[in-house]
Amino acid sequence: MRCDSEEEIVEEVIEAVTASRVIPGGYSVEEEADDDIQSILDLAMSQEDPAEINLTDCAALSYKYKVVAGTDYWIKAKCQGHVQDKDHRDDKEDKCCVHMAIHVPLPSNGQPAEPKLTGMIFESEDAELPSE
């Protein structure tokens, strides 16, 4: 589509960015997790020492992503586990909400891109995922 004015060009760019749901250089908007996101979370968790992270049965709730040299994800998950901080624990279900940073590198040398857990933040379930 041909734009005749600078204002029309700006409007077209804003529409394209809004439609893609990704902020250039930043994270996407938070979306509901699907089976693909659950698989990424499961793969990342399977590589961690269970005694070190002390979380099991993690169910992905929502996520954000950004494309870098691979893809960085923030995934909000409800997990079974021992959490000292009572503000971030659901005593009724003995579950906690965790925001997990996961990096999926680009495949190189024919090797699969394996997700790696790079950080965790214990938060309330209604807290927004980080933007950084």
From the CB of residue 75, how many other CB atoms can be counted at a distance below 10 Å?
25
Rounded distance between C-alpha atoms, residue 36 and residue 39, angstroms: 5
- Strands (DSSP E) found in 46-115: 55-68, 70-81, 89-90, 95-105
Domain residue spans of the chain: 27-123
- The pLDDT value recorded for residue 88 is 47
Rounded distance between C-alpha atoms, residue 82 and residue 61, angstroms: 19
Q: Decide: pTM greater than 0.85.
A: no
Judge whether 98 and 55 are in contact, CB under 8 Å.
yes
What are the respective helix, strand and coil percentages of the chain, to the nearest 5?
25, 40, 35
- The pLDDT value recorded for residue 70 is 85
pLDDT in tens for each of the 132 residues of the chain? Answer: 455 666 666 677 666 655 556 666 788 889 999 999 999 999 999 888 877 777 888 999 999 999 888 889 999 999 887 555 445 444 445 568 899 999 998 877 566 778 999 998 888 888 888 887
Rounded distance between C-alpha atoms, residue 78 and residue 81, angstroms: 10
The set of residues, in sequence order, having a beta carbon less than 8 Å from that of 12 and lying 6+ positions away, is 1, 3
- The pLDDT value recorded for residue 50 is 73
- Of 98, 116, 96, give the one whose Cα is nearest residue 106: 116
Give 97's strand partners: 78, 123
Looking at the domain 27-123, which fold is it? Nuclear Transport Factor 2; Chain: A, (3.10.450)
